[in-house]
Amino acid sequence: MARDINRMLGGLRDYLQEGEHLSGITPVSTGHSNETYLLNGIDRVLRLPPSEEGLLPPYDMAQQHAVLAAVVGVDARLPVPRVFELCTDPTIIGDAFFVMEYLDGEAFEYETPSWLSAASSDVPAHMCTQWIGAVTALHRMPSATMPAPHRTVTEEAQHWLGVAQDAEAPSLLVDVLEDLVVEPPRRSGEPTPIHGDPKHGNCLWDKKGKLLALLDWEMAGVGEPLMDLGYIMQFYDQGDNPLGSAGYELTGWWSKQEVIDAWQSATGRTVIDLNRYEALEVGKVAAIIALGYHLFTSGRSKDARFEAWQTVIPGYVAQAARFAEG
């Protein structure tokens, strides 16, 4: 972590309405994506851009704040944290930031928590109901709800193609993304609000399996909702080396077809060209991973975690190619 906590503490005490009660700052996640800190004494959460070169620029704190403010409370099936102060003046603590509600829950992605492993099959089934219910609630909202950019499927593919090319990603990944630019999957209907990263790892739960919030809205926008569904679906098709799909092994966790059926029923849309949407979303993940590795090898980052990403790039690229062919 490259930030000066003492400077942050002083700036926030002066700036926040309840700053006098701020007793400390605890880092929760820091590095190359949006950073999260717990504001001790006032039980709120601080969100900042990455303190080092990031993987998903630009990091627009005002837009992220606006997205959360627009979505919160619109549909009870889509819980999101409330937002409070927004500061776009980087002189206060070193970067623009916003403050949001603290929710006492747990997110999991790579390891199934013990409380869930010990639960009856009704619990993971109900968690899937809530998770997919939150995503489909978003997809039913009017596009005007979302104060974020509109990007077509072609533009989405073009964006990640550019990221892959800049990262000097494997040529097979570039080929897949170029093919998706030329021949994008068909649309299911008019654009809707989309999350951009609606994996179960971005859900916050209590230990009874209640969904407390859907988090990490930095890639939210307006677009084809099948992009969100394709992103979710690719976690079911990772072959012998599943990554980020903890919980899927449990009795009661929804099958791929159950997710598809629920999405179609809730949105009134028909799933089409799903393999190509999966190819696009896996290609997105592969491009991000390739960028992290490139940041390390080019000397723009000293984060040793990025060096290890080299080992997973081939699997994601092969997966994207397999979906594109299907």
Question: Tens of pLDDT along 228-252?
Answer: 999 999 999 776 666 789 999 999 9
Domains and CATH numbers, the chain: 5-101 (3.30.200.20), 114-325 (3.90.1200.10)
Q: Where do the H-state alpha helices sit in the chain?
A: 5-15, 61-71, 114-117, 122-140, 153-166, 171-182, 225-233, 256-267, 274-297, 304-308, 313-325
Residue pair 282/316 in contact by the 8 Å Cβ criterion:
yes
CA distances 262 to 94, 195, 257, 267, 319, Å, are 44, 17, 8, 8, 25
Percent of the chain residues topping a pLDDT of 90: 85
Structure pTM?
0.94
Residue that is written with structure tokens 């929760």 in the block? 28
- Per-residue pLDDT tens digits for 88-122: 999 999 999 999 999 999 999 999 999 999 999 99
pLDDT tens sequence for the chain (326 residues): 578 999 999 999 999 999 999 999 999 986 557 899 999 999 999 999 988 777 787 889 999 999 999 999 999 999 999 999 999 999 999 999 999 999 999 999 999 999 999 999 999 999 999 999 999 999 999 999 999 999 999 999 999 999 999 999 999 999 999 999 999 999 999 999 999 999 999 999 999 999 999 999 999 999 999 999 999 999 997 766 667 899 999 999 999 999 999 999 999 999 999 999 999 999 999 999 999 999 989 988 877 788 888 898 999 999 999 999 87
Sign of CA dihedral 138, 143, 149, 154: positive
Q: Are 192 and 141 in contact (CB under 8 A)?
A: yes
Distance CA 188, CA 309 (A): 34
- Output the furthest CA–CA distance in the chain (Å, rounded): 59
* Residue whose tokens read 């290609």: 283
